[in-house]
């Protein structure tokens, strides 16, 4: 009985510690959102699974009453995008186009703008993404100013496959990963997640080993300016 009771105490203590850690991270994302504005930089490392492709960083700014501005670097190309109230626009060689214009069906021919637009349709700013990430992290533990834990099976699959081409319904296999969060003065300042597994892309299986790092800055002092032409596409 004493041994069983001791085990129950340990399990209960671990459960409370996990709940407290999740609450800490979620509260830090809430405080970040309440500041109303912030900037961030997202970097991606594909390890040995990216071949010659090395994605560049994404620079982002968000201001509650104005919207979100993104600068996405992929290879040698940098693309500007703006988002507000579940609508968005992308700057193309032909000027600014709405996400709905870019994702319109044209027979399935390759189109870089449409590919990015589909990704942006599911975009989440860091405060929202980090909260979602924390909810899908099991055994979240605090160590000094960081919190870390393994992703659930659902979380690993979700963050491994951020975009799935139309008609490709196969999910990833062998998905696993972990997440880590940094909190400073009660506010989320950085988070990172590492996922790996096998994905099916156009009938071909590919191994993915990806680490995504998001560093948050200029909290409370960020200003966003939406270009006039882009603003028209958000109406």
Region of poorest pLDDT, from 39-43, 82-86, 116-120, 162-166? 162-166
Q: What angle do CA 172, 174, 121 make, to 5 degrees?
A: 30
- Give the residue-averaged pLDDT of 33-48: 94
Confirm if 36 and 44 have CB atoms less than 8 A apart: no
Contacts 24+ apart (CB under 8 A), 104-113: 108/166, 112/77, 113/79
Greater confidence (31 vs 113) lies with 31
In contact, 227 and 209? CB cutoff 8 Å: no
Say which range, 15-29, 88-102, 151-165, has the weakest mean pLDDT: 15-29
The whole-angstrom separation of Cα 159 and Cα 211 is 10
pLDDT tier for residue 181 given thresholds of 50, 70 and 90: very high
Mean pLDDT for the stretch of residues 188-202:
91
DSSP letters, 198-225, are EEEETTEEEEEEEEEEEEEE-TTT----
pLDDT value, residue 50: 61
pLDDT at 1: 47
* Residue with the larger pLDDT of the pair 25 and 16: 25
Residue-level pLDDT at 7:
38
List the structure tokens of 63: 């201001």
Find, among 101, 62, 96, the residue nearest to 81 by Cα: 96
* Distance, first Cα to last Cα, the chain: 67
**Beta strands per DSSP E along the chain:** 37-45, 58-63, 67-74, 77-84, 87-92, 95-98, 137-143, 146-151, 173-184, 187-201, 204-217
**212 torsion bin: left (phi>0), alpha (psi -120 to 50), beta (else):** beta
Q: Which of 9-13, 206-210, 230-234 has the lowest mean pLDDT?
A: 9-13
Q: Over the stretch 100-111, which tens digit does the pLDDT of each residue have?
A: 999 886 655 666
Short-list 86, 65, 182, CA closest to 133: 182
pLDDT (tens digit per residue) in 43-95? 999 887 666 667 789 999 999 999 999 999 987 889 999 999 989 999 998 89
């Amino acid at each position: 009985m004493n041994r069983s009771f001791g085990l129950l105490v340990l399990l209960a203590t671990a459960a409370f510690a996990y709940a407290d850690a999740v609450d800490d991270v979620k509260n830090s994302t809430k405080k970040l959102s309440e500041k109303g504005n912030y900037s961030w930089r997202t970097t991606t490392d594909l390890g040995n699974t990216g071949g010659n492709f090395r994605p560049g960083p994404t620079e982002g700014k968000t201001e509650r009453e104005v919207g979100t501005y993104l600068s996405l670097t992929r290879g040698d190309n940098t693309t500007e995008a703006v988002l507000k109230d579940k609508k968005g626009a992308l700057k193309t060689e032909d000027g600014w186009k709405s996400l709905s214009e870019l994702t319109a069906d044209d027979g399935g021919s390759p189109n870089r703008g449409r590919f990015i637009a589909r990704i942006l349709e599911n975009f989440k700013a860091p405060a929202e993404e980090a909260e979602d990430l924390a909810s899908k992290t099991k055994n979240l533990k605090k160590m000094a100013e960081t919190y870390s834990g393994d992703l659930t099976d659902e979380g690993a699959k979700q963050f491994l496959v951020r975009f799935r081409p139309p008609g490709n319904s196969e999910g990833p296999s062998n998905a696993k990963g972990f997440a880590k969060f940094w909190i400073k003065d009660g506010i989320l300042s950085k988070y990172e997640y590492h996922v790996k597994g096998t994905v099916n892309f156009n009938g071909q299986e590919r191994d993915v080993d990806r680490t995504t790092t998001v560093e948050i800055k200029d909290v409370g002092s960020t200003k966003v300016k939406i270009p006039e032409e882009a603003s028209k596409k958000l109406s």
